Structures are given as structure tokens and as C-alpha cells.
A = this chain, B = another copy of it.
């Protein structure tokens, strides 16, 4: 190998990837020519292929789509959606509108699914080591709280009381997929055990929310926790786009958080 090649190799290696291989006139994703994918795999399967490297079965893709469909939006009360709608009136492109919304899906919001998946996987690991479900759940929750605090991500909802309508439907889909052998069902058990244990500890039942339920699905399907956040961002991007576009059609210039006649209250601290 000549020195020139070494140089070139260093640069090409800096940007190495296993996702895409290109030559002029040729594009392959994870070993599949793009023309073989178009028309043969759906969008959800493509998301799976790109993030994981393999293609899911039809049944796996169906369950996967349930999670993607469930998380698209929670309306303009959510700061990410409100910010996107405001951005849409400030003279930026729809791409900037979408980035504004997605950028805000941080640890508190978009991170809930990731944190919940970490809890589920920790409980599963305890069970693999021989602990029974109830003990593993109790210990897993205790351990999780040392890192993240008392409120367990994925459970409880400040608006949807007593039930988040997305969770039972998603859990039913998991149970159905487990009944046909598409998934194991262990994380559905774990999710429900966490829900029961939190309820027991506080003395009143708690709802599983969208993050708790989608984390069950992503864990069942074998996605690592950070992708729980990434996939939620992808799903919620749909809502961000839809609201940004609706706002563009409604019009407005420099839309603030409330009608202009309401002035923020000034609190003198001097």
C-alpha cells in the first residue's frame, strides 16, 4: 500500500459505516440494493433495517408499527409541539420547524422510554440470574431510583387518569404477538409487574403510560434502550410535522405562547 493510499484510507476510515455502501449509480443499505427495498419493504421495516441491520418478519414489523403509530402526537400542550408551531410562524423552513420540536424531546420527555427500557432490562437480567419476577421487580425499581429518582418513567400520567388509552391497547397487541410466538412476552410480564409494584408501594393503582408500553414493545423486539428514545423521536416527528404544517396554513407571524394581550407577569426581585 502506497503512502497515498494510507492517507486516503485514513480519511475514508474516519467516516466508516456499515449502514450504506455507495458507488456512482449504486446504493445499498445493509447489503440490500435500494431498488430491491423500494416497493418490497414498508417504511417501518426500513426503519428496523437501518437501525438494526437486519429485516424483521412481517409479524415483528406489525408489532413495531403499533409503537410507532401510538407515539405520533400529544397535542400543542406538549412543549415540543407548541415550539414547533411557534417556529412555523417565524420565517424558517419546515425542516427547521421539525428540528425545533425534536430537539426538545430530552431526558424529561423523550428520555422516559429509554429510562424505562433500562429498568425492564435490569429486571430481566436479575431474572436470568435466577431471581423471581416479583423480587427482581422490587429490587430493579429500587436500583433504578438510585439513579433517576422516585418517579418511575413510563408510569403515571398527569393528564390521562386513571388510564392512558394507548397503553392497554399496546399491551393487548404484545400479548397477541406473544400468543403467536412473534415475541416472548417476558417484558409484558415485567411491565405489568412494575405497574403492580408501584401501585402496591403507593397504596393506589397507577397507570402505565405510552413510554412504559412502547418500552415493553421495543424490549420484546430486542431494541437497545437508547433506540427507545430515538424511535420515539421518529414517531413524534410525525406530530411535529403535522402541527407545524397546520400552523403554516393557519398563518400568523411570531406567534407567542399566549394571545398577545396577556403580558408575562413581572416579579420584582431587585
Contact = CB atoms under 8 A, between A and B. Distances in A.
B259 A11 contact: yes
A197 B19 CA distance: 36
A182 interface: no
B238 A38 contact: no
Given A80-B90, A96-B92, A257-B15, A42 B69 contact: yes
Contacts of A73: 19-20, 29, 50
A254 B159 CA distance: 13
A107 B99 CA distance: 15
A50 to B, nearest CB: 4
A22 B106 contact: no
A8 to B, nearest CB: 6
How many copies the complex holds: the figure is 4
Nearest to A231: B241
A264 B13 CA distance: 7
A50 B242 contact: yes
A165 B193 CA distance: 50
A103 B244 CA distance: 14
Interface string A210-253: 00000000000000001101110111011101111110101001
A57 interface: no
Interface residues of A, number: 132
Interface stretch (A121-129, A131-139, A166-174, A198-206): A166-174
Interface of A: 2-4, 7-22, 24-27, 29-31, 33-35, 37-39, 41-44, 46-47, 50-51, 53, 62, 65-66, 68-70, 72-80, 82-83, 85-87, 89-96, 98-100, 102-111, 158-166, 168-170, 172-173, 226-227, 229-231, 233-235, 237-239, 241-246, 248, 250, 253-260, 262-270
Given A30-B270, A94-B233, A108-B254, 12 more contacts: A2-B3, A13-B265, A15-B265, A17-B75, A35-B169, A38-B70, A38-B173, A46-B68, A50-B238, A87-B103, A94-B226, A95-B104
14 contacts: A11-B258, A18-B246, A19-B73, A20-B266, A34-B169, A38-B166, A42-B43, A43-B68, A79-B83, A79-B89, A82-B86, A93-B105, A94-B226, A158-B260
